[in-house]
Amino acid sequence: MVDYKYKILIVTNESRLAAEIKSQLNEAHYQVSLAKNVTEGLALLAKESHALVISNCQLPDLNDFQFFDVIQHHYPALPFVIIKAEATIAEAVSAIRKGVTDFLSYPTDRAFVCNTIQQAIDENTRTHAKKTKDSSWREGIFTRSTQMEHLISQAKLVAETDASILIQGDSGTGKELLAHAIHQVSPRKNGPFVAINCGAMPEALLESELFGHAKGAFTGAVNAHKGLFQSAEGGTILLDEIGDMPTLLQVKLLRVLQERTIRPVGSNESIPINVRVISATHRNLIEEMKEKRFREDLYYRVNVVCLSIPSLAERREDIPLIASNLLQTLCKRYKRKLSGFAPEAMQLLTTAPWPGNVRQLQNIVEQIVVLATTPIVTAASVQKALHDDIAPVMPFDAARKAFERDYLINLLTMTSGNVAQSAHLAQRHRTEFYKLLDRHELTPAMFKENSENA
């Protein structure tokens, strides 16, 4: 006997119909959950994943196709079969036109019920497999790195479930981009994707942004305000920089994730939510937990699956690909004609330190495109952009070296290359001053008036 192990949800308040279909399905080795109304049905779907919903669509809380509309809104990829006593062909046709997967007229025999259901599930699996094979969901992520490819395939696997995901990575590594791609390849792709930076605002404002507030909840709350959790209903919410969330709010978030309901500020009403949660942070949350800045219970709640994005310096093979694609995009945006990077220019990009990762690479290429005067990107223009951009975040030794060099150049320019005068102004011995010039590969002749280099 085939063990299908699929879980089917039956939603009807007709207990005889429910019992009969349940026993038919159980005999055929399907697992069955029963709900008497819409609220119970949605609660069961939120709790665990089902392969299909069957309903007579005549429910006390929602009639006719309304229940189908609700399910389709929340779970657009879930097959839905209507079963109805002595249904007419016209009813069946109008249901199928609306997008219902199939229509059964009751009473009917077990084989027919099971066949219809299995066909609906198989068809859905096929379409889903085809959709996920299509790679458009990750089209913004350029990579040649095997480490990244591995990460992306892991992301795709977990996208299909509703598991909470934590994305870790330094700033500018592509955390938000990955979160959006996960949403795109998940069954929630037709639902909304909402992102919020949890470190960017004070606690009270963040709370009302996340959970909403009732009219009059606080001074200035003239109207009720819907929170982002509600705006993300049926889709995905990205809690960006969750490591920076104030600790009191962490407690409230934990409760929301446990109970799957939110309570707007100043309201007594609990609203059920059906939202997939992705969190992102550039912080090391284990360290944050040790320092008691991040709650351990929340950590385990948001980190069912952890995806760590490597820094750009750990995947330098990505730099030429990302840089070339950026160049094309930015040339279009700024209406510039640049055919590519000179080999030495690309060499400089590939070996730069990139503390700001892809976001910094974007800034550099943008600067280069805006200031370009040549038809190909030269090493000099890359060097200039890198120097201008990296200067504020240079390591101490490099910064000191750059300062010394600029200082010496200034002195020699002021004194037109007179070493005795320069050493005097710097309050250094002449021999020491010569050593300094030597270290920075500067010669006084460069600064003498009438010199070729002046």
Bond from prior residue into 107 cis (ω within 30 degrees of 0)? yes
Strand partners, 10: 34, 54
Q: How far apart are CA 234 and CA 336, in angstroms?
A: 42
Question: Nearest approach, Cβ of 346 to ligand ATP (angstroms)?
Answer: 16
Return the number of the residue (197 or 421) whose C-beta is nearest Mg ion: 197
Return the number of the residue (270 or 284) whose C-beta is nearest Mg ion: 284
Return the number of the residue (273 or 280) whose C-beta is nearest ligand ATP: 280
- Which secondary structure element, helix H or strand E, spans residue 407, and what is its range? helix 396-414
Residue 99 sits at φ, ψ, to 5 deg, of 110, 5
Residue ranges in 311-330 that form contacts with ligand ATP under rule CB under 6 A: 322
**Burial of 403: CB neighbours in 10 Å, binned 0-12, 13-18, 19+:** exposed
Question: Nearest approach, Cβ of 322 to ligand ATP (angstroms)?
Answer: 5
Q: How far apart are CA 221 and CA 440, in angstroms?
A: 62
Give which of ligand ATP, Mg ion, none residue 250 binds (C-beta under 5 to 8 Å, depending on kind): none
Binder of ligand ATP out of 7, 36, 74, 359 (CB under 6 A): 359
Return the number of the residue (44 or 177) whose C-beta is nearest Mg ion: 177
Q: How far apart are CA 375 and CA 188, in angstroms?
A: 45
Residue ranges in 41-100 that form contacts with ligand ATP under rule CB under 6 A: none
β-pairing verdict for 305-308 and 276-281: unpaired
Residue ranges in 132-151 that form contacts with ligand ATP under rule CB under 6 A: 140-143
Give which of ligand ATP, Mg ion, none residue 140 binds (C-beta under 5 to 8 Å, depending on kind): ligand ATP
Residue 417 sits at φ, ψ, to 5 deg, of 80, 15
Question: Nearest approach, Cβ of 166 to ligand ATP (angstroms)?
Answer: 13
Binder of ligand ATP out of 41, 174, 243, 264 (CB under 6 A): 174
CA proximity to 308, closest of 287, 288, 281, 277: 281
Return the number of the residue (116 or 357) whose C-beta is nearest ligand ATP: 357
Give which of Mg ion, ligand ATP, none residue 323 binds (C-beta under 5 to 8 Å, depending on kind): none
Residue 377 sits at φ, ψ, to 5 deg, of -75, 120
Helix (H/G/I), strand (E/B), else coil: 164: coil
Total number of residues binding ligand ATP (CB under 6 A)?
17
Binding site for ligand ATP (CB under 6 A): 140-143, 169, 171-177, 282, 322, 358-359, 362
